[in-house]
A = this chain, B = another copy of it.
Amino acid sequence: MEPKINLWIEKDGEVVLSRWRVRLLEAVGETGSISRAAGEMGISYRRAWEKIHEMEERLGIRLLDTRTGGVGGGGARLTPAACDLIARFHRFDEGMDEEIRRRFEEAFGNS
């Protein structure tokens, strides 16, 4: 048996940040592109764009700076506000996998 956890943050009952959403934002930051980030996450460009747009709407914060066209097509990078949120989410989540493994061992280790 294996313990599992999911952590997320809601605003007005709607998800604004989660492990998955943070990975998506980080993938945009790393690849410089929504479409490459979507590829890394195994989702469509449309779905990636919608999720990011949804977060921006719900948070009332711009998360990406995007530019279109030009040599090599458009690109995207994280805004400082997005970087701040990602860092805060990691602080919130830090060590939680270890915490639940420790708790699981305590509770189920001798079962």
Contacts and interface: CB of A to CB of B under 8 A. Distances in A.
A104 B84 contact: no
A46 interface: no
A39 interface: no
Contacts of A10: 1-2, 4
A7 B88 contact: no
Chain A interface residue bracket vs B:
20 to 34
B9 A7 contact: no
Nearest to A18: B4
Interface string A82-111: 001100110111001001100110111001
23 contacts: A1-B9, A1-B10, A1-B11, A2-B9, A2-B10, A2-B11, A3-B8, A3-B92, A4-B7, A4-B8, A4-B9, A4-B10, A5-B6, A9-B104, A84-B111, A85-B111, A88-B111, A91-B107, A92-B100, A92-B103, A92-B104, A92-B107, A96-B100
Contacts of A6: 5-6
